[in-house]
Amino acid sequence: MTLLRQLATWLGLISPVAYAYPALDVSLTNGGRLHLVGSIHMGSEAMSPLPEVLLQQLQQSTALVVEADISDMGSPLQEEYEPIPLAERLDPERYQLFQHTGA
């Protein structure tokens, strides 16, 4: 991003670049650039393929920093996973309060 564009964005004269996914471009004082992308905590096959503009950002990057272990492609939820009912996870007083608030 050029200095003029940075200044115009900072002054609110123009909008920052908008992406079809949660992201923000950051220019560092040392000339470095970051493309910060919001987390995809539990992605599914339905989210594939990723947007082309994101794939281009990844191809042009010199590093990829993630907040999770991506070396294991397995799901943390096993097929036999059965959620514990909320009534069993909350103490009776909190569960009653939950029911009373109409949630």
Assess whether pLDDT exceeds 80 at residue 20: no
Per-residue pLDDT, averaged over 21-26, amounts to 81
Percentage of the chain lying above the pLDDT 90 cut:
2
Handedness of CA 40, 46, 48, 53 (dihedral sign): negative
Residue 48 to residues 17, 31, 40, 45, 52: CA-CA distances in angstroms?
Answer: 23, 32, 12, 5, 11
- How far is Cα 99 from Cα 93, in angstroms, rounded to an integer? 10
Per-residue pLDDT, averaged over 29-51, amounts to 77
